[in-house]
Structure 1
C-alpha cells in the first residue's frame, strides 16, 4: 500500500502511476519498486462473508438457531448471524430473525 506524500491519503494504481484518492489533492507519483505485484484491487474481492445486520438484511439461508423463542409469535426457530460488536475480549453478538414472523433481535452471550 502506498500513501500520498502530500495529504497522507491512500493511493491507487492507475496505468502504472500512483494517484491520490483525495479529490482535493490529486497528487501523483511513481509506483514504488516491487509493489505493483502486491496490490489487490478491492473491486475484485467478494462480499460473500459480509454479515448483514441492518433492517433490510437477508437472513434466509443463514444458520438456524433452535435454542431461541421469538417474543412476538412464540416460534422456536430463527436464522442468525454473528458479529463482533464490542472489543476483541468480549463475546460476539448474535443477530436473529424469526423464521415465522420475521421479527429481529439481538442475543448477547
Structure 2
C-alpha cells in the first residue's frame, strides 16, 4: 500500500505505476520493495465457532441494552472477539437474555 506524497491519499496500482485517485499523481512501482512488505494470510488459522448453548446464564458475562432481532427483547449478553485482521475492528457477539438468539455486529 502506498500513500500519495502530494495529497496523502491512498494510491492504487495500475500496471507498473501507483496512481492517486484524488489528485492524479503517479509514481513507478518498485516490485522488489513490494515483495519485501507483502502480506499473506497463508498459515493463519480459521476462527472457530464457539458453542455457548451449554453455558449457564450466570457464566455468560455482561449484558447490554440492545434489541433482539428475533423476539424484540431489550437485553443481551455480549462479548467482543478479534476474528479478522488485526488492523480491523473487533466483532461484537450478542445472545438474547430471553430467547437466546445469537447475532453479531461488525463495523462497516
TM class, shorter-chain normalised?
A: 0.3 to 0.5
TM-score, normalisation: structure 1? 0.46
Q: Higher relative CO (CA 8 A, sep ≥ 6), structure 1 or 2?
A: 1
TM value normalised by structure 2:
0.46
